[in-house]
Amino acid sequence: MHTKTFVRFKHTFLMAEKTTHIKPTESELEILQVLWQHGPNTVRFVNDELSKSKETGYTTTLKLMQIMHEKGMVNRDESGRSHIYSAAITETATQKQLLDRFLDTAFRGSALKLVMQALGNKKTSQQDLNEIRNLLDNLKKEEK
């Protein structure tokens, strides 16, 4: 889908084509994960990867990827007999989208609560904790 939004900028209004609303389903996300992780690949490869963690029929994966192509979620190279699919949206952009939505629906928008849950529940490595600490320091500096 496609939504138009008004965005205030200085003293003018601009139309912003919001390419938002990439809303991969759970299955689509699993496929994107494979493509992000391993780069452009065939349906066969993706299906083999998915098969490692769950039952999945070849034509099911194929159909899903064809649909994703229709939606513009993946590109495909049709030059060879087996088509090569690649993600058309970046991992971080998608994560940002999903996170925003998730934050709203699950944590009523409170990033604090989400972060605390994420850190509290899981045993996070010492190194990761340090990285977060650095990020915090940077954020502090930025707002002078």
Partner DNA sequence: ATGTTTATACGAAAAATTTCGTAAATAAAA
Partner DNA sequence: TTTTATTTACGAAATTTTTCGTATAAACAT
Instruction: Give the binding site for DNA (CB under 7 A).
Output: 23, 25-28, 42-44, 56-60, 62-64, 66-67, 78, 81-83
Rule CB under 8 A: say whether 12 interacts with a copy of itself: no
Question: Coil, strand, or helix at residue 89?
Answer: coil
CB of 78 to DNA, least distance (A): 7
Comparing CB distances to DNA, the nearer of 100 and 128 is 100
Structure tokens given for 24: 């991969």
Partners of residue 87 on adjacent β-strands: 74
Q: What angle do CA 8, 14, 20 make, to 5 degrees?
A: 90
What does residue 123 show for φ and ψ, rounded to 5 degrees?
-80, 110
Determine the Cα–Cα distance for residues 72 and 66; give it in Å rounded to an integer: 10
Using CB under 8 A, which residues numbered 94 to 113 contact a copy of itself?
Answer: 94-96, 98-100, 102-103, 105-108, 111-113
Task: Pick what 57 binds: a copy of itself, DNA, none; C-beta below 5 to 8 Å, kind-dependent.
Answer: DNA
Determine the Cα–Cα distance for residues 15 and 2; give it in Å rounded to an integer: 13
Interface ranges with a copy of itself (CB under 8 A): 26, 29-30, 33, 37, 92, 94-96, 98-100, 102-103, 105-108, 111-122, 124-126, 128-129, 131-133, 135-136, 139-140, 143
